[in-house]
Amino acid sequence: GAELTAIHVREAGAPSRIDDLCAWIPPDERALCRIRELEREGDAAEEILKAAGETACDLLVVGARHRTFFDSTVLGTTTVRVVRHAPCPVLTLIERSGGDQDRS
């Protein structure tokens, strides 16, 4: 079956948020694949790219905060670095303003 690796990279000393990340995975999807949780400290782009290489993933899905500049969406430096250097395709998901995502 399929394997999903969820990774959260935090700054040194910051609290763990891996449970918050994994809460976004719908229960019906959890039943279809094996979920591996990784939590690392350090530079987010560097650690994501390192994990992608170690796990030989087929696709990276990266969350990005919605930022605008003259009515255009702008990706942050972490997302840009991951997209440019990933060993596989990258799907970026832009967070809607206000954090009103539907978790169902």
104 found inside a domain:
no
The CATH code of the domain that includes 54 is 3.40.50.620
- pTM attached to this predicted model: 0.75
66 found inside a domain:
yes
- Please check whether residue 82 is in contact with residue 50, taking contact to mean a CB–CB distance below 8 angstroms: no
Mean pLDDT, residues 69-87 taken together: 78
pLDDT value, residue 70: 59
- Please check whether residue 48 is in contact with residue 7, taking contact to mean a CB–CB distance below 8 angstroms: yes
61 found inside a domain:
yes
82 found inside a domain:
yes
Whole-number average pLDDT of the chain:
82
Question: 């609290």: which residue's tokens?
Answer: 15
Q: In this structure, what are the phi and psi dihedrals at residue 32, rounded to the nearest 5 degrees? A: -90, -15
Query: Any idea what the Cα angle at residue 81 is, between residues 76 and 87, rounded to 5°?
Result: 140
Query: What domain range includes position 24?
Result: 2-99
pLDDT value, residue 104: 44
Residues 32-66: tens digit of each pLDDT:
888 888 999 999 999 999 999 998 889 998 887 65
CB atoms within 10 A of CB 87: 11
